[in-house]
Structure 1
Amino acid sequence: GLVIKSINLTSREKLRIKEGIIQWLCQSMRPFSIVNDNGLRDIIQQAVCLGEKHGSIDVNSILPHRTTITEHSKIMANIHRDQLKIHFIELQVFKTLTITPDLWSDKFNSSSYLGIT
């Protein structure tokens, strides 16, 4: 497997990262808690590993265009939807399927939502 090592950054390196994160959060109106998001951490870890393998690389060669993400998200959604259908069918066969709807509205944004648990 992949061996991930911990390093001690210099105070200056830590400050650059902190300030970059704060600037990104404020300019993009992101919550501070996003730095604890496992998905963000996984993507950053992948980028660090690519940098270790290839050396210093331009971020634009790593990040796909938004239309690429949009199109691929449709493919992934269909795959996950199909997997979920199979799982629901299995649960139905064994008569262990219960679905509870949860409906709510956001009057400020004029949006309605349906959650299923």
Structure 2
Amino acid sequence: MFLNNSPSFVENTSDQSDSIRLTTPSSSIIILSSTSTAGSSSNIVKFTTERITRLLKNDSLNYKVIKNSKTNLSSSCWEVFGFPSKKTNTQEFEIIPKFASCESCFQTYAYKPYSGTRILNSHSCVQKLLNKDKEGLSTGDKVIQMKLGTVMKCYKQIQLPQRDINLIKNLTSKWLCQDMRTFSIVEDTGLRNLLQEFIILGARYGEIDLKNVFRGADVCSKHIYELADEYRTILKGILKEPYENRCIRICPD
């Protein structure tokens, strides 16, 4: 008489009950029965998804949602869903089997462990949670970017005078043409001259972006040829008089 195609739960109670017996027939109906010593009268209550939803909303003293106690739950729906339960005569809450209820809106669905959680995951409260998590990740990325922006100082962008640009190019090119030993490079005169000029420029213009000062490898390579021609001209002027007076001596060292 209790056969039904949809999952349901039937409770058989008496006015003076002191024991509970669970029986599970071949159908999806589960009968919770209690016997009475005073008489054989009983009150049969059939649980459906609609009824459980209504009881959870309107009778919170006797019905509540219990969290899924299993660990390592992979589905996100269990952050929102639990199992509906009813208070027994011992004042303890007993899970109503074959149902799952939302803790927020108390919407109840038929649920069996082997049936999967696709329907539960499509519930609106679960979708809101997933969307909120996505927004949180997006906001977190923005916060990280803002923090990186504060850590990485933004230096002032300026247009250096051509005189200062040429000076830096000269110092860089000279440094590249001088001693290039690995560890002792920090002691190079060329490097120290270059750094000293940076300090002077910093004192003059404040905290400026190094990209406005340094030039790339191609520029330095081209400038080295220009410097070489310039120094050849200077050296030619220095050697002209000794050469004409036959006073030049070449040393192999």
Band the TM-score falls in, shorter-chain normalisation: 0.5 to 0.7
Determine the C-alpha separation between the residues in 2 that align with 1:37 and 1:54.
Answer: 26
- 2:110 equivalent in structure 1: none
Matched, 1:82 2:82: no
Instruction: Give secondary structure in 2 for the equivalent of 1:47.
Output: helix
- 2:182 equivalent in structure 1: 31
Q: Given the superposition, is the C-alpha separation of residues 70 and 32 from structure 1 closer, same or farther in structure 2, using an over 3 Å criterion?
A: same
Compare the two structures and name the one with the higher strand fraction: 2
Structure whose alpha-carbon radius of gyration is higher: 2
Q: Given the superposition, is the C-alpha separation of residues 30 and 95 from structure 1 closer, same or farther in structure 2, using an over 3 Å criterion?
A: closer
Please, what is the CA RMSD of the aligned residues? 2.0
Query: Cα distance, 1:62 vs. partner?
Result: 0.9
Structure 1: gaps (5+ residues): 1-28, 102-116
Larger RCO, structure (CA 8 Å, separation 6 or more): 2
CA-to-aligned-CA distance 1:25-62 (integer Å, 9 cap, x gap): xxxx9522111111111110111111111111111111
- Identity fraction in percent: 32
Query: Cα distance, 1:73 vs. partner?
Result: 1.3
Determine the C-alpha separation between the residues in 2 that align with 1:40 and 1:64.
Answer: 15
Determine the C-alpha separation between the residues in 1 that align with 2:207 and 2:181.
Answer: 27
- 1:14 equivalent in structure 2: none
Determine the C-alpha separation between the residues in 2 that align with 1:65 and 1:75.
Answer: 16
Number of equivalent positions? 74
Compare the two structures and name the one with the higher helix fraction: 1
- 2:220 equivalent in structure 1: 69
Code of the residue aligned with 1:54 in structure 2: it is Y
1:1-117 superposed matches below 5 A: 31-101=182-252, 117=253
Determine the C-alpha separation between the residues in 1 that align with 2:227 and 2:199.
Answer: 24
The TM-score, its normalising length taken from structure 2, stands at 0.27
Q: Given the superposition, is the C-alpha separation of residues 30 and 84 from structure 1 closer, same or farther in structure 2, using an over 3 Å criterion?
A: closer
The TM-score, its normalising length taken from structure 1, stands at 0.55
Structure 2: gaps (5+ residues): 1-179
Determine the C-alpha separation between the residues in 2 that align with 1:47 and 1:30.
Answer: 22
